[in-house]
Amino acid sequence: MQMKYHMVTIEDLAPENHFLRKLKKSVDLSFVYAKTAHLYSQKYGRPPIDPVVMVKYLLVGFLYGIPSERQIEERCADSNALRWYLGIDLDERVPDHSTISQLRRLFERVAQQCVDMGLASGCLVATESTHVKASASPASMYLVETPEEPEAYWERLNAYEEQAGEYLAQKTGKQKKKRTKMLKRKPKRPHRRVSRTDPEAGWLNRANKPHGMYYLSHQTLDTDHGIVLDVAVTAGDASDKTPYLEQMERVMDLLPVQKATADSAYDFGLAHQVLGEHGVSFFVRPMENDPHPSVEFRREHFRYDQDSDRFRCPNGKELTLMGVSRSAGSSLHWVYTARQDECQSCPMKERCLNKSLKDKARRLTRSVFEDAARKNLSQADSPEYLQALRLRQIWCEGTFAIQKWSHNLTRVLRRGLEAADGPLSFPPRP
């Protein structure tokens, strides 16, 4: 058998117009050396694998939809273009899959590079969540008591509750009871389903969604080019509001945000308030109100006077500020109450008081954050507002579709929140 010898290099075998050449030119990974310098010894041990090569390993897996490190190894061994990108010559062995599992967090710097290159401006950022099936058995579920709200959200709401209490004392002379102290005296907590095989996953139970043990990937992206700026992973039974404000603060540290958009699950008063304080317009799909009122006279039948901070009922009687309430730990409301004698003698009593209040007085609540929410929602019919909602749907749902069907993010293969957070934290292809 006659053998032929060809004088070629790995540079010759990588096509000139290959995507990886463009990627290498656009994304500078030199920062990895500084990030990993403390992990390497200059005196002892065998020569290490280049940390940039290991990062590129994972990047290749994401870009080409390869679901496991073992398959990434096999693919790189067979592809000349991938070898060229990694800097591995034809006679060299590609790194073993077992050496690359701990490097996923370095991808956060890629988002910063996208910002520096002008691929993300912050003109409009969009947030959405998607479910990813956990590696957990429904058959092993049991019920446990859980805290009412995550600590960060709780503390943020506590601060506004303190301010509301001070205003109440100034306005009425009444002191608001400390709700956190009351909770310690009554330590009742909601129950949640937990799997023994993956306790950090959560039972997803939402309309038009599959039921079972899932994680939620909450992603915020820039609508200029679909660059994902932040990812947070929670249990499948967590509320969308749980990580949202922390996500937005991380994004605002990354670049100046002018407008933010999200679907109705993110329409909560605290978001309107906090984003407004940062000068960010919040274009959110409004949460639907209860279509089945228990009485004829609803909140909209009462006229609110901003100057006097009072409501006036359809019969001309006043409802005055009497307190501050906190609903299920998630929001704050001013409480306005009418005089009992005026309600009981009112000819419209039957149209205004439900069965539980038939011997009492009418009460109304107004969100502490209502002014901030109204400022945003008053623009709900404007072209700018509607365009923001359309861009959220296009970019968020489109990105999730690509992640799930091209990059195999339909199921978490490992167990635990930390393991789930790794594969879900990749930035998109620039």
All structural domains of the chain with their residue ranges: 10-102, 120-280+373-421, 299-368
Number of neighbours of residue 46 by Cβ within 10 angstroms: 5
Q: What is the pLDDT of residues 291-339, one digit of tens each?
A: 556 788 888 899 999 888 999 999 999 999 988 888 755 688 899 999 9
Q: What is the pLDDT of residues 200-233, one digit of tens each?
A: 888 888 877 888 888 898 999 999 998 889 888 8
What percent of the chain lies above the pLDDT cut of 90? Answer: 20
CA-to-CA distance for 372 and 365, rounded, in angstroms?
Answer: 16
pLDDT at 296: 85
Q: Does residue 172 come out as left (phi exceeding 0), alpha (psi in the -120 to 50 range) or beta?
A: alpha
- Counted residue by residue, the chain has a size of 430
Residue in 44, 60, 64 with CA at minimum distance from that of residue 95: 60
CA-to-CA distance for 171 and 5, rounded, in angstroms?
Answer: 92
The residue type of 227 is: I
pLDDT at 186: 47
Pairing of strands 141-145, 191-195: antiparallel
> What strand order describes the sheet that includes 331-337?
303-305, 310-312, 318-327, 331-337, 363-367
pLDDT at 276: 94
pLDDT at 428: 39
Tokens 């929001």 identify what position?
331
Q: pLDDT: is 27 or 174 the higher one?
A: 27
The residue type of 34 is: A
Residue in 23, 199, 29 with CA at minimum distance from that of residue 107: 29
| Structure tokens belonging to residue 324 | 């501050």
pTM attached to this predicted model: 0.72
